[in-house]
């Protein structure tokens, strides 16, 4: 008796599961954007592909991280705006406020170290040069708090997450 070939996944369950888990990221960001901000000790390390379609931010910042970047949402973030397909946030880099817009599809890692919660995603394909979003202009907002001194422990930092990667 001939054996039937394995069934082909025409539902693309892996992509459906990735999209559903990105919904967890969106829901967590919506809670963080609500009045009161992040509850308790929660904070987020969000890694994303800087060359993914729809990522926008200051050219000087994104050019420092041409492949991947990690941001930390903990003490100093402003104007967190989680939308349906992307989120925007203002963070300080070198004492200067800079706005980033990141599609959820560009997120490759979401980590909340306060509860050891980690989600890892398949990286999206790199966007063709002509399809990349126009970088957002850098504007300092009047309501942004005064920058803390350089090297302050409360200042958001871009960090390497190599220590968290599976070996």
Write out the two tokens for 5: 């070939």
Owning domain of residue 51? 20-31+42-141
Q: Is residue 81 part of a domain?
A: yes
Residue 84 falls inside a structural domain: yes
Residue 150 counted as domain residue: no
Backbone angles phi, psi at 153, to 5 degrees: -65, -25
d(Cα 98, Cα 88) in Å, to the nearest integer?
Answer: 10
CB atoms under 10 Å from CB of 8, counted, come to 6
For residue 5, being part of any structural domain is answered with: no
Residue 155 falls within a domain, yes or no?
Answer: no
Whether 9 maps to a domain, the answer reads no
Taking the whole predicted model, whether its pTM rises above 0.85 is answered as no
Distance, in Å, from the CA atom of 4 to the CA atom of 116, rounded to the nearest integer, reads: 43
| 60-101: pLDDT as tens digits | 999 999 999 999 999 889 999 999 999 999 999 888 999 999
Closest Cα to residue 142, out of 94, 78, 57, 81? 78
pLDDT one-digit tens code per residue, 98-138: 999 999 999 999 999 999 999 999 887 777 665 444 444 44
Residue 126 DSSP one-character state: B
The number of folded domains in the chain is 1
Tell whether 120 is covered by a domain: yes
């Amino acid at each position: 008796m001939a054996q039937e070939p394995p069934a082909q996944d025409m539902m693309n369950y892996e992509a459906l599961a990735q999209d559903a888990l990105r919904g967890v990221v969106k829901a967590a960001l919506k809670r963080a954007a609500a009045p009161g901000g992040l509850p308790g000790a929660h904070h987020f390390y969000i890694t994303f592909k800087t060359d993914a379609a729809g990522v926008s931010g200051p050219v000087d910042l994104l050019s420092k991280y041409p492949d991947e970047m990690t941001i930390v949402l903990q003490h100093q973030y402003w104007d967190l705006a989680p939308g349906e397909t992307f989120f925007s946030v203002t963070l300080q880099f070198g004492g200067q406020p800079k706005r980033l817009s990141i599609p959820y599809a560009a997120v490759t890692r979401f980590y909340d170290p306060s509860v050891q919660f980690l989600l890892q995603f398949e990286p999206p394909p790199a966007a063709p040069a002509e399809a990349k979003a126009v970088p957002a202009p850098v504007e300092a907002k009047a309501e942004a708090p005064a920058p803390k001194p350089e090297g302050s422990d409360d200042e958001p930092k871009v960090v390497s997450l190599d220590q968290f990667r599976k070996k």
